Amino acid sequence: MDVITRGGVITDPGNSVENKTGSWRVFKPVINYEMCIRCMICWQFCPEPAILKHEDEEIKKSTPAPKDALKRLPVVEIDYDYCKGCGICANECPVKAIDFVMEER
């Protein structure tokens, strides 16, 4: 935004996406899809929100899963552009399918 609007109104909703808060991260969550039961608890609790939910049939089928029956469920993916590395997802995952490792840059 180049011009200050009257009243300081921000006319572009959700333009905070320009802030790539992924640079805050010290530890990084990594999903182990072979273990992920696609319960969506990480997606539910991600405060950023930096966990994406994919409903696309192609992605659902092509992503590994511990059981074939689970492949009809949506797939989660971490958006590292914004993930601040709080670790709530790794802590709450009921099957411990999210590793929390030191970020390397």
From the list 9-17, 30-38, 56-64, 65-73, the region that binds another protein by CB under 8 A is 9-17
Taking a C-beta distance cutoff of 8 angstroms, is the pair 74, 51 a contact? no
Q: Supply the Cα-derived Rg of the chain in whole angstroms.
A: 17
- The helix or strand, by DSSP H or E, that contains position 22, with its residue range, turns out to be none
Candidate list 79, 94, 96, 102; residue touching another protein; CB under 8 A:
79
Name 80's Cβ contacts closer than 8 Å, sequence gap at least 6: 22, 25, 28, 50
77 sits near another protein (criterion: CB under 8 A): no
21 sits near another protein (criterion: CB under 8 A): yes
Binding mask 83-102 for another protein (x = CB under 8 A): -xxxxx-xxx-------x--
Q: Provide the token pair at 69.
A: 């029956």
Q: Give the interface with another protein as residue ranges (CB under 8 A).
A: 1, 4, 8, 10, 12-21, 24-25, 44-50, 53, 55, 79, 81-82, 84-88, 90-92, 100
